[in-house]
Amino acid sequence: MLFSVDAHAIGRHLTGNEVYIRNLVSQFPLLDPEATFVAYVSVNDTGGWVPEQFLRRRVSANPFVRLGWELTARLWRDRPVLLHVQYTAPLGCPVPVVVTVHDVSFLEHPEFFSPARAAQLRWSVKRTVQRAKKILTVSEFSRRAIEKAYALPPGRVIVAPNAASSLFRPIDRAAAAARVRARFGIPSPYVLTVGDVVPRKNQLGLVRAFASMLRHDPRLPHHLVIAGKETRYGRQVRRAARESGAAERIHFTGFVSDDDLLQLYNACELFVFPSFYEGFGLPVLEAMACGRAVVCSNTSAIPEVADAAAILVDPRDTSEIARAMRDVLVDAELRLRLERLALHRAAQFSWRKTAERTLAVYYEVAGVASRVPADTVQSVSVARP
């Protein structure tokens, strides 16, 4: 039996979509060594994330070429029993589709997208959801939003949560701090945020909150590190940093590798994630897996991920963000308690469980008995709030 996965995101620095698919496919051969998988990739060097057991087929990185005809032609030749995509299936897809829709931010917050991009997603995702045999998502928040947006009956959308990669774990903090200083020239102590520099991630609000915190307590020695791929919006955030009165303490790393990210997480004194909207919020879990105290937004799926292991704040209230950061930084007992809670919370998620649920869906769509444990299949079918 041949299952196929659109893995074009792997190796292309596509952040959340890439992290999702590479962690997922890495688990499949471990769980079901008898099945055959084909990955449609867009680069030669996939960084070891596509297992050796997978067949590989090259497809274009250009979405119009890939989704317009190239992926369809590949599917006609390979004849898998299904295709798993993120958000958008190819035109004229000749096999059943399983789609992962991480969120519907393009519907609920179109202001975070260009008009053309929002319109394209509205059309392509709706078309894919309507034809998909099963729809996967990563949180109960997103499940409810998807069901509401597309008027779907219960049971069509299956929740298979994300997890932190096993790479993200506690390591020696002093050694991590030394590597961060050597690699980026950033001194400790510092506050960290991770994510593409885009309006939705609210780095602008964080810069303002950080500067406000320092004005109210100038004795704090901390720096702010903003790690993530920069966009044109980054110019606005950098300008705000220059005008904040704390420019010498605000650092931008750009896109970083997972190895560098491991060091950045472990060396930070506090992780802050003030995003306005997330279908999951994976950096929160990655920071927790490294045993870091977390302050994060009280919106969208983020409270569902953080649970009681973080301090939740209104991302639109910079004074509230500033107060929460200061509380954690000056109160060592609070910080240590959050670090213990963080490790416990992160351990409740695993990519193995996510892959088990996903494979159970594959077998259901294929119409054959699953080799995934029965209790896992049952949990897939009845996942509700």
For the domain that residue 153 is a member of, what is the CATH number?
Answer: 3.40.50.2000
My answer on whether 202 and 329 are in the same domain is yes
Question: Which among 154, 146, 95, 156 is positioned nearest to 125, based on CA atoms?
Answer: 146
Classify residue 179: in a domain, yes or no. Answer: yes
Q: Helix, strand or coil for residue 312?
A: strand
My answer on whether 154 and 212 are in the same domain is no
My answer on whether 180 and 156 are in the same domain is no
My answer on whether 177 and 320 are in the same domain is yes
Distances (CA, A) of 219 to 192, 213, 222: 19, 10, 9
Place of tokens 């915190």: 213
My answer on whether 77 and 178 are in the same domain is no
Classify residue 113: in a domain, yes or no. Answer: yes
pLDDT in 10s for each residue of the chain, 385 residues: 899 999 999 988 767 889 999 999 999 999 999 899 999 999 888 878 898 889 999 999 999 999 999 999 999 999 999 999 999 999 989 999 999 999 999 999 999 999 999 999 999 999 999 999 999 999 999 999 999 999 999 889 999 999 999 999 999 999 999 999 999 999 999 999 999 999 999 999 999 999 999 999 999 999 999 999 988 899 999 999 999 999 999 999 999 999 999 999 999 999 999 999 999 999 999 999 999 999 999 999 999 999 999 999 999 999 999 999 999 999 999 999 999 999 999 999 999 999 999 999 999 999 987 766 544 444 433 333 3
My answer on whether 194 and 324 are in the same domain is yes
My answer on whether 188 and 286 are in the same domain is yes
Contacts 24+ apart (CB under 8 A), 347-352: 347/289, 349/161, 349/162, 349/163, 349/164, 349/285, 350/163, 351/23, 351/24, 351/26, 351/27, 351/162, 351/163, 351/165, 351/166, 352/27, 352/30, 352/31
Classify residue 42: in a domain, yes or no. Answer: yes
Structural domain of 290? 173-346
My answer on whether 338 and 356 are in the same domain is no
Classify residue 277: in a domain, yes or no. Answer: yes
My answer on whether 243 and 111 are in the same domain is no
CA-derived radius of gyration, the chain: 21
My answer on whether 231 and 329 are in the same domain is yes
My answer on whether 116 and 235 are in the same domain is no
Nearest-angstrom CA–CA distance, 241 and 251: 9
For 280-298, the DSSP string reads: S-HHHHHHHHTT--EEEES
- In the chain, the number of structural domains is 2
Nearest-angstrom CA–CA distance, 368 and 255: 42
